[in-house]
Amino acid sequence: MGHEECGDGKLAAEGEIAVARLALDSGDLPHAADHLADAMLHDPQQPDLYEALAELCARAGGAAAARTYFPLEGRIYLGTLVCRAHIEAAAGDWDDAVGLIASAIGFEPATPWAHAAWFAREDLAELVTPDAVVQALPRAMSGLPDPMPEDLAAAVRPFADLVRAAVRRHPDHAALLALASGLVRRLGDTEEGVRLAERAHRAAPGHLSAVMFGNALRAHGDTGRALAVWEAELARDPSDTHLAVDVAELYGATGRPAKGLPWLDRVLAAEPDHPKAGPARHGLRHRIDGGTVHLVALADHHRAHPDHDYAPELLAHLVRQQPWLGIVPGAREATVNVLHQCLESPTATRDSELEITASQLEPPSSRLAVRLAFPAADVAYGSIPEPDPRNPVRPVGTRVWTWNGTEPAPAVPAPSADAAELLRDTAEIAWPAPPAAYDHAVRLAGLPLEDLLGALAHPPAPREDELGRALLAHQPELWVRAVQVFACLGIAHHRTDQPWADSKRREVLLDLLYGADDWTVEAAGFALAAVGWTQPETRTDIADHLHTRLRHTAEAARRREVTILQSLCTLMLVCPWADARALTLARTLAEEPADDTPATAPAVPKPGLLRRLFRRH
C-alpha cells in the first residue's frame, strides 16, 4: 500500500489511532496493534501514533513484550513491519530497528519511514553495528531508482545520513564503504560514490568492491575505467554472468556494441536460458543492425520466457517515443497545422468561432481534433483530388465516414456513455511497446463492436487530469488518435475465441485498413501490427494486407497529397517479418522528402506531455 496524500492520510491515521486507543482502554492489545499498523501506513509522521505505540508497550509490560503484537512471520503487512521497527528501537535493539526501516524503504521508498525521532539521534551510528548497516543497505536500495528524484531523496535522507555517519565511524569497513557508495550515487553524489567505492576496492579487493566501484565509475561518466575494473574482475572470477552482461551493455551504451557481443555469447554458451543475456544480445544487435527485427525478437523472447522481465524492460527503453513502436505519431494535415497556430494565439478561446478552409479534402478525423479544441469551429474543404480519397481502396462492409460532397459525417452512431467512459480511461498516447498496448486494451474486450466503431468518429473528451488538460491545450489531435488506436485494439480483442483467419475482428480491422483515407486507417494498421507482434501465426497475413494498403496509398500519392503515407510506411517497417519487397517499398517511400508537410507538424508530443505509462493500472 502506498503512502496517501497528506491531508487524507492524516485524517485516516487519526481515525485509526482513535480506534486503537479505545482498544487499549478495553485491554484488547492485538486489536489496538492492528489499528496502529494501519495508522502507520496512512501517516508515519503522526505524533499521536508514537504516543499510542508507547502506551501499548507500557500495557504489554515493556517494548520487548510488545513485539508479539507485531509479528514478522509469514506474509508481513508493511504497517506491522514499521511498527515493529519502532518497537525494536524502543527495546534498544538498534540493529533490527534500522534493518526493518531499510526493508520498508525498499518496498515503498516515497514514504518518509526514516523520519522518526530515534533516527535523528546523534549517537545512532554508535549504537548500530557496521555489519547491521551493511545488511540494511541492500534492502533499502532494492527499491531505489538510480538516480533518485528529489522527492524520493528527501524521504530517504535520514537513512542516508545514518549511512554516512556509519562510514565516518568505520572508515576501514570495506563492505560498508562499497555499499554506501551505491546509496550516495543514487542520491546524485557520484563523485563521493567513486571515492567510497575506490577506498573499498583498495582496502579489500574482491567481487563486491569491484562491482560497486564499476557502478560508481559508470554513474560518474568514467566508462573506460568502469570497463577496466569489471573486465579485470571477470578475468579473476568469470562466474558472475550478470556482470558480464553489464560489461556488454556498457560497450553498447558507449557506441561499441560489437565489442559487447562476445561477452554475451560466452554467457549464452554456458547458460542458454540466462534471464538477461539473451535480451541484451537482441539489444546490441538492434544497435548494430537498426530496424525492428531484434525488437520483435525481444517480444518473442518474453513470450517464450514470461519470467524474464528484462526483455520487456529493455524493449520499452529501446522504443521509447518511437512512432507507433512506443507512441502515437503526430498528424501531418494542414488543418492540424492551423489548429496549432490557433491554440498558440493569445486571442483564441475555446468559444472562438474559427473558420478553417483546406484547399482539398483531408482525413475527416483531423476535423475531430479541431472541434475538440474549438467546438464552434467550421472546417471546410475545397477540391476533391483524384484518386478520390473518400473511396475505400477495395469494397468494405464497415465504414466510419459518409460524405455529402466535401462534407464528412459519421457513418456510425456514438458509443454508449459507459463505453465512452471506459475508452476515455483506457486510451493512452504512449505505451511501453506494441504488445503492452495490445495487452492494455484487453479491458475493452467486452465492449460491443458498435461502441468501438462509434468511438472512432465520436471520441470522448480527454481525461480531466494534467496530461488530458495539456493535450487539449496543445495537441488535441494526439488524443483523437489515441482513442482511435485503442478502439481498434479493442476490436482486436473482440471474440478471440474465433480463429484469426475467419474472425470478425480480422474482418472489421481489414475493412478499416482498406477504408477511405483517414487516421482510422493508421489506427487499424497499428492494431493489426500489434496482433502480429503478439501472435506469430498471424504475421504473414497481416504483413500482406499492410503491404497491399501501402501499395494503393503509394500509387495515390503519385497523383495527390496523401498525409497518412509516411505513417503507413512506419507501420510496414514495424512488421519486419514482411517480405523484402514490402520492406523495401516502405523504406524507399519513408526516405522521400515530404515537401508539402507543414514544418511545424509534430512527430512526437511536445515536451512535458508524457507521464508514466499506464500510470493508473
Average pLDDT over residues 524-531: 98
Average pLDDT over residues 360-373: 96
Residue 117 per-residue DSSP state: G
Q: Is residue 600 part of a domain?
A: no
What local confidence, expressed as pLDDT, does residue 611 receive? 41
What local confidence, expressed as pLDDT, does residue 155 receive? 95
In this structure, the answer to whether residues 115 and 209 fall within a common structural domain is yes
| Distance (Å, whole) CA 33 – CA 23 | 9
Residue with cell 474465433: 498
Residue-wise pLDDT for 211-260, tens only, equals 999 999 999 999 999 999 999 999 999 999 999 999 999 999 999 999 99
Residue 379 per-residue DSSP state: E
In this structure, the answer to whether residues 350 and 283 fall within a common structural domain is no
pLDDT at residue 28 is higher than 60: yes
Residue-wise pLDDT for 551-602, tens only, equals 999 999 999 999 999 999 999 999 999 999 999 999 999 987 654 444 333 3
Q: How confident is the model at residue 353 (pLDDT cuts 50, 70, 90)?
A: confident
Residue-wise pLDDT for 279-321, tens only, equals 999 999 999 999 999 999 999 999 999 999 999 999 999 999 9
DSSP 314-356: HHHHHHTT-BTTTBPPPP--HHHHHHHHHHH-TT--TT---EE
pTM, whole model, 2 decimals?
0.89
Q: Is residue 102 part of a domain?
A: yes
What local confidence, expressed as pLDDT, does residue 585 receive? 98
In this structure, the answer to whether residues 111 and 212 fall within a common structural domain is yes
Owning domain of residue 12:
1-87
Q: In the chain, how many domains are there? A: 4
Q: Which of 69, 87, 105 is the last residue of a domain?
A: 87
What local confidence, expressed as pLDDT, does residue 561 receive? 95
Q: Which of 172, 207, 237 is the last residue of a domain?
A: 237
Residue-wise pLDDT for 400-416, tens only, equals 999 999 999 999 999 99
| Distance (Å, whole) CA 611 – CA 617 | 13
In this structure, the answer to whether residues 312 and 342 fall within a common structural domain is no
pLDDT at residue 603 is higher than 50: no
Q: How confident is the model at residue 606 (pLDDT cuts 50, 70, 90)?
A: low
Q: Is residue 325 part of a domain?
A: no
In this structure, the answer to whether residues 17 and 147 fall within a common structural domain is no
In this structure, the answer to whether residues 78 and 113 fall within a common structural domain is no
b (16+ CB within 10 A) / e for 530-541: bbbbbbeebbeb
Q: Is residue 613 part of a domain?
A: no
Terminal-residue alpha carbon distance, the chain? 14
Q: Is residue 38 part of a domain?
A: yes
111 touches 104 (CB < 8 A)? yes
| Distance (Å, whole) CA 119 – CA 180 | 17
Q: Is residue 354 part of a domain?
A: yes
Cα of 263 vs its chain's centroid, Å: 29
Q: Which three cell numbers stand for residue 433?
A: 511497446
367: buried, middle or exposed (CB in 10 Å: 19+, 13-18, 0-12)?
buried
296 touches 566 (CB < 8 A)? no
In CATH, what number is assigned to the domain containing residue 193? 1.25.40.10
Q: Is residue 545 part of a domain?
A: yes
Q: Which three cell numbers stand for residue 551?
A: 501499395
What local confidence, expressed as pLDDT, does residue 2 receive? 44
Average pLDDT, the chain: 94
In this structure, the answer to whether residues 520 and 471 fall within a common structural domain is yes
Largest CA distance in the chain: 90
What local confidence, expressed as pLDDT, does residue 565 receive? 98
In this structure, the answer to whether residues 489 and 415 fall within a common structural domain is yes
In this structure, the answer to whether residues 550 and 444 fall within a common structural domain is yes
Helices (H), 26-93: 29-42, 47-60, 63-66, 78-90
| Distance (Å, whole) CA 145 – CA 149 | 8
Give pairs for 563-566: CB < 8 Å, separation 24+: 563/331, 563/332, 563/333, 563/362, 563/363, 563/517, 563/597, 564/332, 564/363, 564/517, 564/518, 564/519, 564/521, 564/522, 565/589, 566/332, 566/590, 566/594, 566/597
- Contact partners, residue 576, CB within 8 Å, separation at least 6: 291, 292, 293, 296, 583
| Distance (Å, whole) CA 416 – CA 422 | 10
Give how far Cα 585 sits from Cα of 369, 387, 543, 581, 588, Å: 31, 20, 13, 6, 5
What local confidence, expressed as pLDDT, does residue 599 receive? 34
Residue-wise pLDDT for 94-127, tens only, equals 999 999 999 999 999 999 999 999 999 999 999 9
Q: Which of 87, 113, 137 is the last residue of a domain?
A: 87
In this structure, the answer to whether residues 80 and 211 fall within a common structural domain is no
Residue-wise pLDDT for 253-270, tens only, equals 999 999 999 999 999 999
In CATH, what number is assigned to the domain containing residue 25? 1.25.40
Give how far Cα 157 sits from Cα of 55, 102, 139, Å: 29, 12, 15
- SS3 state at 499: coil
| Distance (Å, whole) CA 390 – CA 361 | 9
In this structure, the answer to whether residues 99 and 79 fall within a common structural domain is no
Pairing of strands 401-404, 407-410: antiparallel
Q: How confident is the model at residue 349 (pLDDT cuts 50, 70, 90)?
A: confident
Q: Is residue 461 part of a domain?
A: yes
What local confidence, expressed as pLDDT, does residue 613 receive? 42
Pairing of strands 378-383, 355-360: parallel
pLDDT at residue 1 is higher than 50: no
In this structure, the answer to whether residues 263 and 406 fall within a common structural domain is no
- Beta pairing partners, 380: 357
Average pLDDT over residues 160-187: 97
Average pLDDT over residues 181-205: 97
